[in-house]
Amino acid sequence: MQTLTNNRFTVGKGIKLIDDAGVEYLDGVSGTFNLSLGYNHPHVVHKIQEQVGNLTHMSSSFTEPYVNEVLDHLIEYAPNDIDAGWMRDITGSTANECATKIAQKYTGSTDIVSLYLSHHGQTQFATGISGNAFRRKRFPNSSAANAVHVPAPYCYRCPFKSKSSECGYQCVEAISDAIDYASSGSVACMIIEPILGNGGNIMPPLGYFQRIRKLCDENNMLLIADEVQTGIGRTGTMFASELFDIRPDMITLAKGLGGIGVPVAAVLMQSRLNVLEKHEHSFTSGSNLISVTAAKSTLEVVSEPGFLDAVKRKGILLESLLQELAQKYPIIGEARGVGLMWGLEIVGDQNEPDTPKTNAIIDRAFTDQHLILRSSRYGFGNVVKVRPALTTTEEELVEIVDRLDSVLASVH
Ligand SMILES: Cc1ncc(COP(=O)(O)O)c(C=O)c1O
């Protein structure tokens, strides 16, 4: 079998991966943005080991007391009167399915509005509601998701050619048109990532989410914030919904909730939306005790006094370092992000997307600098993502950007 690299990584320590030859690699993207606390956070490791020693699994009929502890903790931070939850999934894809099923059952409507460039998962359904057609190729059932795709608020390459100073939120207007002309007339919800992660770290303009909320209210649609990437402190607040004042009816979570990469997911909702019967959405491993323990102990760490403030401070440092790089290298068309969630849009002389250079940056970072980065495959595939673990130290942030600087100098 072919492998992606010749390295065989055997140890994960903090934000480092170490291979069997003892060579250390700095992970600038926390796995696939799911290692919110790095590879081996001692508190989470200890709690999981303890749990494994006692009881690793029992039927979800019996796990409720454990699950409720996690949900109560999450709800403490949740915006917009969200006060209930569902934890019978282990992946973000099916958590999003869960939320959209809830929306369909609650509203009695069918369609789901989602953005171009969005990523909501890779089951056929989640692929169907995601805004990237290339993943649907050859999988006809993904078209059965009743999705209505609408333009993304991609200001750097505005689909309506607006300049930010004169933005008339035409991308929001276009959603109204799509509801009128492209939907079945029966729309249950809109699902939206606060920052389009895989789409290229796309940050909507100020005022966008308030307009989306209004549009949902006017059309009796529920608003689902897919916080699989942005949740659990990634942007410096527990939920990005709080940071951007999104006021969603539901929030979906996965990735960072597992702290050190343990698969776990959750759907948070206002209790009026708690309409699913258990048999309508449950998986054998959903709410298993290892996942629930990982979530509980991760939340204990993230809610320690000062933890999120430190993420905010580190985010400001990362921002200034990346903006310096953007000043230095014209191939960075834009550095955009917040907290520890950043993307660098790589461009050519005419600001056109430069995908080969983007790929060269990722490859050279790995081979020459032992720095792990990821690029966005969506859109033009020309965004370098920088999203280290929330536990990354300031020195490590400087080290990540120094190594990236050397790579940019070599491809420039
Ligand atoms: C925003 C978002 N939603 C959902 C998913 C799907 O999560 P999972 O891979 O756990 O199914 C992802 C995964 O990349 C994601 O980034």
- Residue 144 has a pLDDT of 75
Average pLDDT over residues 12-19: 97
Within the chain, all domains assigned CATH 3.40.640.10 are found at 47-302
What are the tokens at 38?
């790095």
Distance 309 CA to ligand 1 centre (A): 26
How far is 124 from 145, CA to CA, in rounded Å?
Answer: 8
- Residue 378 has a pLDDT of 81
How far is 348 from 346, CA to CA, in rounded Å?
Answer: 7
> Is the pLDDT assigned to residue 304 strictly greater than 70?
yes
Task: Please state, for a pLDDT cut of 90, what percent of the chain lies above it.
Answer: 91
Average pLDDT over residues 180-204: 96
- Residue 3 has a pLDDT of 61
CATH 3.90.1150.10 for domain 9-33+306-411: yes
Ligand 1, residue 93: give the atom nearest the CA: 11
**Residue nearest atom 6 in ligand 1 by C-alpha distance:** 121
- Best residue among 29, 119, 283 to mutate for probing ligand 1's pocket (most ligand atoms within 8 Å of CB) is 119
- Residue 135 has a pLDDT of 83
Average pLDDT over residues 51-58: 96
- Residue 2 has a pLDDT of 60
Q: What dihedral angle (degrees, nearest 10) is formed by the CA atoms of 146, 209, 93, 227?
A: -170
Average pLDDT over residues 201-205: 96
Distance 52 CA to ligand 1 centre (A): 26
How far is 59 from 78, CA to CA, in rounded Å?
Answer: 28
Distance 191 CA to ligand 1 centre (A): 13
> Is the pLDDT assigned to residue 178 strictly greater than 90?
yes
- Residue 1 has a pLDDT of 63
Question: What is the phi-psi region of residue 206: left when phi exceeds 0, alpha when psi lies from -120 to 50, beta otherwise?
Answer: beta
**Residue nearest atom 16 in ligand 1 by C-alpha distance:** 229
Distance 128 CA to ligand 1 centre (A): 13
Distance 227 CA to ligand 1 centre (A): 9
Ligand 1, residue 96: give the atom nearest the CA: 4
Q: What angle do CA 382, 384, 390 make, to 5 degrees?
A: 150
Per residue in 109-156, pLDDT (tens digit) is: 999 999 999 999 999 999 999 998 788 888 877 777 799 999 999 999
Distance 34 CA to ligand 1 centre (A): 10
Distance 402 CA to ligand 1 centre (A): 29
Q: What is the average pLDDT value for the chain, to the nearest integer? A: 95
How far is 252 from 192, CA to CA, in rounded Å?
Answer: 10
Q: What dihedral angle (degrees, nearest 10) is formed by the CA atoms of 36, 40, 3, 123?
A: -40
- Residue 391 has a pLDDT of 98
- Residue 166 has a pLDDT of 78
333 and 345 Cβ atoms separated by less than 8 Å? yes
- Residue 197 has a pLDDT of 96
Distance 282 CA to ligand 1 centre (A): 18
**Residue nearest atom 7 in ligand 1 by C-alpha distance:** 92
CATH 1.10.132.20 for domain 47-302: no
Within the chain, all domains assigned CATH 3.90.1150.10 are found at 9-33+306-411
Per residue in 323-381, pLDDT (tens digit) is: 999 999 999 999 999 999 999 999 999 999 999 999 999 999 999 999 999 998 788 89
Confidence of residue 4 (pLDDT cuts 50, 70, 90): low
How far is 378 from 369, CA to CA, in rounded Å?
Answer: 25
Ligand 1, residue 32: give the atom nearest the CA: 14
Distance 45 CA to ligand 1 centre (A): 23
Give the binding-site residues of ligand 1, using a 6 Å CB cut-off.
91-93, 96, 119-121, 193, 197-198, 226, 228-229, 254
- Best residue among 228, 229, 252, 377 to mutate for probing ligand 1's pocket (most ligand atoms within 8 Å of CB) is 228
Task: Please state, for a pLDDT cut of 70, what percent of the chain lies above it.
Answer: 99
